[in-house]
Structure 1
Amino acid sequence: MMRLVPRSLLGQLAFLILAAFLAAQAISVWLFTDERSAAIRAAQRLETVERATAVASALKTAPKASHESILAAANSRLVRFSLDREPLVTGDASGPAAVVDLRTEELPLSPHSGELAEPPAALAWLHERMRVAGVAPVEFRITVPLADGEWLNVAARFQRPDLQAPPAIVGATILSLVLVMAALWLGLRRITHPLSQLAAAADKADLDSGLPEVPVGSPREVRALSEALARMNERITDMLNDRTRMLAALGHDLRSPITALKVRAEMVEDDETRERMIAILDEMQAMVETTLAFARGISTDQPMEEVDLADLVRNLAAELAETGPEIIVEAEHPVISCIRRVPLRRALRNLLENAQFYGGGARVTVRETAGAAEILIDDFGPGIRPEDLERVFDPFTRLETSRSRETGGIGLGLPITRAILHAHGGEVVLSNRPSGGLRARIGLPRASARPD
C-alpha cells in the first residue's frame, strides 16, 4: 500500500503546510460562495417582486380583454403569473411598504425532483440555514390583490446558483500556492540538507575521525546539534580507549598468576586432578590471550595505512592453507583500503579459520563496489540456522555446546572480528547461500572513500 504521508522532514512539513493552505482556501471559497449565493437570492427576490408589482399595475390599468396577453408576456420558464379567485399566499401582508397587501412566502423544493417537499424534521434547521444562505432550491410565492376580488399569484422557482470561480481568484490562489511552496522548499532545504549531511557523516564516523563541520550558513540549531554530536563522539572514543586500556592491563596482569598456577599444578601428584587443573588453566590462559587480542583489535594506537586487501588475503590464505584445508582467493585487481594491518589481519584470520574448521575450506572474493571494498568468504560447510546468524556475534556464544577447546574456541572470535571491523568503519554480515554453505560478507571503506 502506497504511503500518503512522506517520510522525510521536508516532505512532511510540505505536506502539512499544503494541506493547511488548501483547507484555508476551501473555507474561503465556502464563505465566498455563501455570501454570493445569499446576494444572488436576494436579487432574485427583489426582481420577482418588482416584476409582480409591475404586472399588477399593468393589469389594474388595462382592459380585461388584454389581461391574458399581459400574463402570457410576463411568464417565463421559472416564473409563472396567474389571475385567480383565491390567494396563493395566505396570511398577513409581508411585502415592501410601497406595495400594499403584497404577500410572500418561500417553500422548499426537492433538489432531485424539483417538486415541493418538506425536509425531515431532524434536518429542518439545516435546510433553513441553507435557505437563508441562498443555496437551497425554493419556490418563491407572491400574491397581490386586484379589483373585483381577483388575486395576482406569482410562483418563481429559484435553483441553487452555479458555483463559479472568477479567474482572478483562481489565479491568485495558484500564485499564492506556488510562492508559499517555493519559500517553504528554500527555507526547509537550509535545515534538512545540513541534517542529511550530518546523518551521513555520523554514519561514517569511526574512532579515527570526528564529525565534519556543518556548512557555513546552517541554522543555529543544526550547528548546535553538530557540535553536540562531535562532543558525544569524543566522549565515546575516550570511553572506549579507557576500556581498551583497562582490558589490556587486566589481561597482562593475569598472565603471571596463571603461569605460576600452572607450575604449581604440575606438582600435583594425582594425575586426574593435575590434568583437570592444567586444562582449566589453559582455558583461562586462552581467555586472557583472547581478551588481549580484543583490546589490541579496537585500539587506535596503531597507525592507519593504505593496504591492498587482495594481497593481504592471498598471503593469509596461503599461510593458513599450509596447516588446513585449501582457501581459494579470487581478485581481479588490487583493492586499496586504509586500515590497521595487524588488527584487520586478525579479524580475517578468525573468519578464515572458522571456514576451514567448520566448512572444510573456503572461496574468497575480493572486489570493489560503489564506494566500498568487499570481501566475500564462502565456505563449503552446511551453514548455520537462520536464528543464529546474528547471535554468533554475541560474546561467549558458541553453537558447538561441548565447551571443549578441541571443537571450538571460547566464543570471542566473531565478536572480536566485528569490533575490529567496526573500528575501521566496516561491517561483517553472515548469510546462508542457496547452494549451501555459509557466506561472510565484509565491507570496508575504500581508501579514496574514507572521510578526512
Structure 2
Amino acid sequence: MRRPVPRTLRGQLIVLIIAALAVAQAITLWLFIDQRALAVRSALSLEAADRAGNLVRLLSDAPPALAPEILRAANSPLVQFSIADKPAVAQGKQAGHTLIANRIRELLGPGGPRAIRVELHRGEGPMPMMPGASPRMMQMHAAMNAGRMSAVELSLSIALKDGRWLNMTSRFHDPPYQWVWSETATFALTAALLGLVLWLALGRLVRPLERLAATADRIGRGEAAGPIDIRGPEEMQHLAAAFAEMQARLQRFISERTRLLGALGHDLRSPLTALRVRAEMVDDDETRERIIAIIAEMQEMVEATLAFARGMATAERVDSVELSLFLGAIVDEFRDLGGEVALQGKDAKLRLRPNAMRRALRNLIENALRYGQRARITASVDKADAWITIDDDGPGIPDASLERVFDPFVRLEGSRSRETGGTGLGLSIARTIVHAHGGEITLRNRPEGGLQAQIRVPLGAGQVLQGAGVVTP
C-alpha cells in the first residue's frame, strides 16, 4: 500500500513545511501547557498559604476551646489542618520554598519571627481523612479520591504562640488542558495560507523544471526541440544553459557520425560500379562470375550501410498515428506478398516517425517470416507505453547472443539458415529507430519455441482509445 505522499516536488515541499509547522505548534503547545500548570500550581500554593496564615491568626484570637471547631470548618477533602506538638514537616524541608513562607509571614504581621516549614512533593494515592469529619465531608472526600490520583502535595508546619504546631496538608492536581477549537481553526487557517503562498511561490521553481523535462522527453523521442526559455531562479537558468549546450553537442556528434557513415557508403558506390564493369571484361567465365558475386555482395553491404545511416537520421517529421491502422497497413503489405501474419491487441495514438518505425517493424516481421514461417503481432497499452510484440515459430537464438545480434553486421549462422541473405544490419537499424523514439527493443526465446521481439514506445501525447481494439486473424 503506497503512503499518501504527494509525488510532485511542489506537493512534497508543501507537506514538509506544513508538517514542520505542525511540529513547532505541538512543541509550543506542550511548553504552554507546562508553563500553565506551573502558574496554576503557584497560584494554588499561594492560596493555600493565605488560607493557612489566616487560620493561624484566627486561632491566635479565638479561645482555645474553639480550636477543634475552627479546624473542622477549615478542612476540606483536599486541604486538611491539624494541631500537634511536633511539626509534620521535618527540619530542612522548607529550603527552596521561601516564597510561600514569606507570604505567610506577611499575613501574620510583625508579631515576631515564627518557624515556618514548607514541603512540596508528588502525592500518590488518596489523602487520609481527618477523624471526626462530617458525613457530607466524608462523601465528598470519597468522590474526589476515587481512582488513582497523582498530584502535587503541599505540606506546611507553622509554629503557634503556645509552642504547638499547625500542620496543613493540601493536594491539588495539575489542571487538565481543555482543547479550544479556535486554536485548531487558527492553525488550519495558518496552514492553508502558508500552503497557498508556497504553492504560488514554488511554481516559479517547478515550472522551469517541467519545461526542461518536457524538452528532454521530446529530445529522447528524437523530436526537434527549440531553445529552452527558463525564467526562473538563477540556478534553473544555469541548468537550462548546461542542458542546451549538452543537446547541441549531442546533435553535432550524431550528425557528424551520420554524415560520415552516409558519405562513406555513397562514395563506395562509384568504385564498385567501375569494378563491375571491369569484371564483365574478364574472359574466364568462372573467374568473372566469382568476381561479380563478390562485387554484388559488397554493393549489398554498401546499400545496407546507407540504410543504417538513414535509420540513424532524425529528419523525418514526427506525426500522430493510430496504432491499429499503422500496424494493419504493414500487415496487409506482407499478406499481399503471401506472408502469414496475424494481428491483435489494443489501439492507441502514438507520436512517431511513420516511415522510420515502419521500416523497423518490417525488418522484424521479415525475420519472423524468414526463420519462423509465420508472424503473430500483438499490440498492448499501459499508462505510459505502447507495446508491440512479434512472435515466430523459428529455431530461436542462443541466449548468450540475444544482445549481440543487435550489433552491425552480426549474423548467427549457427542458429539461422545460411540461405537468408542480408548483411546483419536489420536488427541494428530496428534498434536505432526505436531508440530514436525514446523506446526499447528486446529479444527473448519463447518457452514453447520460437523467438519473441518486443518493442516499447512511449505514448507521449498520445491517448488510449478506450473500448477500441483491433483483431485481424
Q: Give your verdict on TM over 0.5.
A: yes
| Structure 1 pair 344–257 and aligned structure 2 pair: CA distance change class (3 A) | same
Kept in 1, the 8 Å contact 2:396–2:415? The answer is: no
Counterpart of 1:80 in structure 2 is 80
Q: Indicate whether 1:244 and 2:255 are aligned.
A: no
Cα RMSD of the aligned pairs, angstroms, is 4.6
| Match runs of 1:127-138 below 5 Å | 137-138=151-152
| Structure 1 pair 399–188 and aligned structure 2 pair: CA distance change class (3 A) | farther
| Match runs of 1:311-390 below 5 Å | 312-314=329-331, 316-318=333-335, 321-322=337-338, 325-328=339-342, 339=353, 341=355, 343-364=356-377, 376-381=389-394
- CA distance in 1 between partners of 2:396 and 2:68 (Å): 104
- CA distance in 1 between partners of 2:341 and 2:17 (Å): 60
Q: How far 1:154 moved relative to its partner?
A: 0.7
Kept in 2, the 8 Å contact 1:430–1:441? The answer is: no
Q: How far 1:50 moved relative to its partner?
A: 0.5
Q: Indicate whether 1:414 and 2:427 are aligned.
A: yes
User: TM-score with structure 1 length normalisation?
Assistant: 0.73
**Residue 243 of structure 1 aligns to which amino acid in structure 2?**
R
Q: How far 1:294 moved relative to its partner?
A: 1.0
Point out the more displaced range, 310-319 or 101-110. Answer: 310-319
Q: How far 1:359 moved relative to its partner?
A: 2.4
Counterpart of 2:63 in structure 1 is 63
| Structure 1 pair 193–101 and aligned structure 2 pair: CA distance change class (3 A) | same
Q: How far 1:393 moved relative to its partner?
A: 3.8
Kept in 2, the 8 Å contact 1:335–1:368? The answer is: no
Match of 1:182 among 196, 212, 227: 196
| Match runs of 1:27-106 below 5 Å | 27-91=27-91, 94=98, 95-96=101-102, 97-98=105-106, 99=108, 100-106=114-120
Q: How far 1:210 moved relative to its partner?
A: 0.7
Q: Indicate whether 1:309 and 2:312 are aligned.
A: no
User: TM-score with structure 2 length normalisation?
Assistant: 0.70
**Residue 27 of structure 2 aligns to which amino acid in structure 1?**
I
- CA distance in 2 between partners of 1:334 and 1:184 (Å): 38
- CA distance in 2 between partners of 1:68 and 1:327 (Å): 114
Gap runs ≥5 in structure 2: 109-113, 129-149, 464-473
SS at match of 2:360: helix
Kept in 1, the 8 Å contact 2:14–2:198? The answer is: yes
Kept in 1, the 8 Å contact 2:78–2:171? The answer is: yes
| Match runs of 1:77-226 below 5 Å | 77-91=77-91, 94=98, 95-96=101-102, 97-98=105-106, 99=108, 100-110=114-124, 113=125, 137-205=151-219, 206-211=221-226, 221-222=235-236, 225-226=239-240
Q: How far 1:377 moved relative to its partner?
A: 3.0
- CA distance in 2 between partners of 1:48 and 1:401 (Å): 103
Kept in 2, the 8 Å contact 1:309–1:335? The answer is: no
Q: How far 1:180 moved relative to its partner?
A: 1.1
- CA distance in 1 between partners of 2:178 and 2:411 (Å): 76
SS at match of 1:229: helix
- CA distance in 2 between partners of 1:250 and 1:89 (Å): 108
Gap runs ≥5 in structure 1: 117-135
Point out the more displaced range, 406-415 or 81-90. Answer: 406-415
| Structure 1 pair 443–6 and aligned structure 2 pair: CA distance change class (3 A) | closer
- CA distance in 2 between partners of 1:172 and 1:423 (Å): 55
**Residue 168 of structure 2 aligns to which amino acid in structure 1?**
V
Q: How far 1:358 moved relative to its partner?
A: 3.0
SS at match of 1:59: helix
Kept in 1, the 8 Å contact 2:78–2:127? The answer is: no
